[in-house]
Amino acid sequence: MVCDKSFSSSYMLLNHEEVGVFDLVHMLCSHAIEKRNFVDCPKGMTEENFKQRWLLSMSALAQKMLKSIKKPLAAMGAGIEYWLNLVSCNRNLSGLISNWIRGYYELRQLNPRIDTTPPPPNLTNYFMQMTSTCQHCPRLSYDKLTFMKRYLTYIVSCNKKEDSDMIVVAFRGTETFDADAWSSDVDLSWYELPGIGKVHGGFMKALGLQKSLGWPEELTHRTKNQEQPLAYYVIRDMLKQALKENNKVKFIVTGHSLGGALAVLFPAVLMSHNEVELLDMLEGVYTFGQPRVGDKRFGKFMKENLENFDVKYYRTVYSNDLVPRLPYDDSTMMFKHFGTCLYFDSFYNGKIMEEEPNKNYFSPLSALPKLINAVWEIIRSFMIPYTRGEDYSEGFVLKMYRFIGLMIAGVPAHGLQDYVNVVRLGSDLYKDPRSISDNEIKLMIDDGTLK
């Protein structure tokens, strides 16, 4: 693995294919990380912090393990999805057994990305309408993007006004049985981009970073011949084409989990390329359960540029979700959040905050409250159809999934169901803060909604 210094002179890259037992041991015992076969970094780079070296070792080892189980994990996922589709298409397990006894059962491929249910009537303000569009608009231009299924959920174009279009670019989160996507999540590699800051290498790779070239403004002949088209360039070119066809078109970027990280990185690369016309089209970046993407300098770069282009940025965090609290924000790691955090508790009550509570997740003092909250979420899954309406009911699989919270509360809290719920129930928290009057701000501070 070689990094072109014209792209980045400060970097730390992990190559899981080169990980060996002796290298892992030496990594823990020696400050000179440049001497490890699985680490690519500038000559002379050292790491004094033992915890940091341990985390780097575990990151490389986790990637190697994920690589080794890639095929069986995918096969297991296909089997589970087949079984769930089979049960769902026959109403439930008893319906499947009944149909099987009669010599008939139904199976069709269910597509969880498309839901034509109309948005709830209470989603009245601007952002909630756009988020609802992400989940409900059936007019998907997905057919041209099949090569990016791993990271792009869809690009959807829908009318906002008679004389303009709104395009929603939605990046998908980590697939449960996709070892490559999990490898991107656990990869602690980073690059320092000139004028931008240090950025998570795994997330940049998922968006289309090229090892030796970084982010060239235009693809060369050699990069065009790669096996897979690169997501950033394809999406950028599609947006440019949309702008040519309609100079009033606007777009927003959104995503959950890994998708949230990609939703932040996409405009960051646009900024680095000085794509002024596209950035003028961008109205908002809305992420859900988003992990940390870069360091403090990156956050400052993003905040200043989003403000310069008048782009709204909301980062939604639900309760004890583990992912937004990773990678760590402490003396060991350099990753930090930026911008407006919309935090929701397990009752779906929200507050505007700079940082979610318990920002690094693991804390002895929070263990008991997390356990109590996990118990409540299990109870709530049975109660919610009666307290919130039948639209909020949860299936058997989701109810069982919530029991994982008794061991690791942050895992089921990361699920999409709760993020869909907070969007539908979040009311005025999703207002553009610039449209809120001084009196409204004072009331929100008085009642504790705004901190």
Question: For 150-192, what is each residue's pLDDT tens digit?
Answer: 455 555 555 444 455 788 888 888 777 888 877 887 888 889 9
Residue 321 annotated to the active site = yes
In a domain, 160, yes or no: yes
Question: With 60 as the cut, is the pLDDT of residue 449 above it?
Answer: no
SS3 415: coil
Same domain, 105 and 243: no
Tokens of 161: 């006004």
Question: With 60 as the cut, is the pLDDT of residue 450 above it?
Answer: no
Same domain, 311 and 371: yes
Question: Structurally, how many domains does the chain consist of?
Answer: 2
In a domain, 215, yes or no: no
In a domain, 44, yes or no: no
For the segment 79-86, the average pLDDT, to the nearest whole number, is 78
pLDDT at 386: 94
Same domain, 85 and 140: no
Residue range 109-147, pLDDT digits in tens: 444 433 333 333 333 344 444 444 444 433 333 333 333
Same domain, 101 and 231: no
Torsion of CA 428, 433, 438, 443, to 10 degrees: 40
Q: Give pTM, 2 decimals.
A: 0.82
Question: With 70 as the cut, is the pLDDT of residue 428 above it?
Answer: no
Mean pLDDT of the chain: 78
Q: Tokens 């058997």 belong to which residue?
A: 396
Residue 414 annotated to the active site = yes
Task: Give the residue from 223, 236, 241, 228 showing the smallest Cα distance to 269.
Answer: 236
* Active-site choice (200, 256, 337, 414): 414
Which of 57, 90, 110 is the last residue before a domain boundary? 110
In a domain, 166, yes or no: yes
Same domain, 361 and 430: yes
Report the alpha-carbon distance of residue 405 to residue 89 in Å, rounded. Answer: 29
| CATH number of the domain enclosing 249 | 3.40.50
* φ, ψ of residue 241 in degrees (nearest 5): -65, -40
Range of the domain at 302: 114-178+221-446
Same domain, 106 and 127: no
Tokens of 393: 């009911």
In a domain, 2, yes or no: no
* Active-site choice (40, 187, 321, 418): 321
Residue range 326-337, pLDDT digits in tens: 888 877 778 999
Report the alpha-carbon distance of residue 265 to residue 387 in Å, rounded. Answer: 38
Same domain, 290 and 159: yes
In a domain, 249, yes or no: yes
pLDDT at 155: 57
Q: Percentages helix, strand, coil for the chain, rounded to the nearest 5?
A: 50, 15, 35
Name every residue whose Cβ is closer than 8 Å to that of residue 273 and which is 6 or more positions away in sequence.
215, 217
Tokens of 180: 């490559």
Helices and strands of the chain, counted as H and E runs: 16, 11
Same domain, 270 and 130: yes
In a domain, 199, yes or no: no
- The confidence band for 434, taking pLDDT boundaries of 50, 70 and 90, is very low
Whether the CA torsion 173, 255, 196, 360 is positive or negative: it is negative
> How does DSSP classify residue 389?
-
User: Maximum distance among all alpha carbons in the chain?
Assistant: 72
Report the alpha-carbon distance of residue 260 to residue 240 in Å, rounded. Answer: 22
SS3 416: helix
Same domain, 153 and 96: no
Which of 110, 135, 162 is the last residue before a domain boundary? 110
Instruction: Compute how many other C-beta atoms are within 10 angstroms of the C-beta atom of residue 74.
Output: 15
Give burial (CB, 10 Å; 0-12/13-18/19+) of 316: buried
Question: With 50 as the cut, is the pLDDT of residue 235 above it?
Answer: yes
* φ, ψ of residue 358 in degrees (nearest 5): 50, 60
Tokens of 217: 């403004």
Which of 110, 126, 161 is the last residue before a domain boundary? 110
Report the alpha-carbon distance of residue 428 to residue 437 in Å, rounded. Answer: 12
In a domain, 241, yes or no: yes
Q: Tokens 């575990």 belong to which residue?
A: 58
Question: With 60 as the cut, is the pLDDT of residue 418 above it?
Answer: yes
Same domain, 118 and 106: no
SS3 343: strand
* Active-site choice (57, 132, 257, 381): 257
Question: With 90 as the cut, is the pLDDT of residue 288 above it?
Answer: yes
Report the alpha-carbon distance of residue 57 to residue 450 in Å, rounded. Answer: 40
Same domain, 350 and 388: yes
pLDDT at 156: 55
Same domain, 99 and 227: no
Task: Give the residue from 114, 118, 135, 132 showing the smallest Cα distance to 430.
Answer: 132
Helix 50-68 / helix 21-29 crossing angle, nearest 10 deg: 160
> What is the DSSP code string of 23-42?
HHHHHHH-S-GGGSTTEE--
- The confidence band for 108, taking pLDDT boundaries of 50, 70 and 90, is low
Q: Strands 340-344 and 312-318, how do they pair?
A: parallel
